[in-house]
Amino acid sequence: MAVSPNLKKNFIASLFDFNLEHLVSLKFLKFIYLIFTVGVTLVAGIGVLVCFLSLKDNFFFIPLIAIGYLLVLISFRIWIELISSLLQIARNTRELVEISKFVAKNE
C-alpha cells in the first residue's frame, strides 16, 4: 500500500510525534511476532528435551507440548493479525480524510 508523501516520516521522528499522526505500531509487529515465536519455540523445545532426558516415562507429555505450542502460536498470530488490521484501517481512514480535505479545498 502506497503511503502519501506527507504521511511518510522516519522512525525516530514518528516516535516523537506528539500529535499521534504517524503510527509506529505496524513497524514493531513483525519484530514482536518474531521474538514471541522464537521464545515459545525455545520453551517448547526445552519441554520436549526435559521429557526425553527425565528418568521417568514422560513421553505422554510430548503431544501435549506440541498441541499447546500450536495453540499458543495460532492464538498469538490471530491477535497480531487483528492488531495489524485495525492499524491498517486507521491508516486508510486517515488517508481518506486527507484526500477528502484536499478535494474540498480544490473545489
3-state secondary structure of 45: helix
| Per-residue pLDDT at 60 exceeds 80 | yes
Q: What is the mean pLDDT of the chain?
A: 83
Task: Answer yes or no: are the C-beta atoms of 72 and 40 closer than 8 Å.
Answer: yes
Find the helix packing angle between 25-53 and 61-105, rounded to 10°: 180
Domain residue limits, the chain: 30-105
| Per-residue pLDDT at 1 exceeds 50 | no
The model's pTM is 0.69
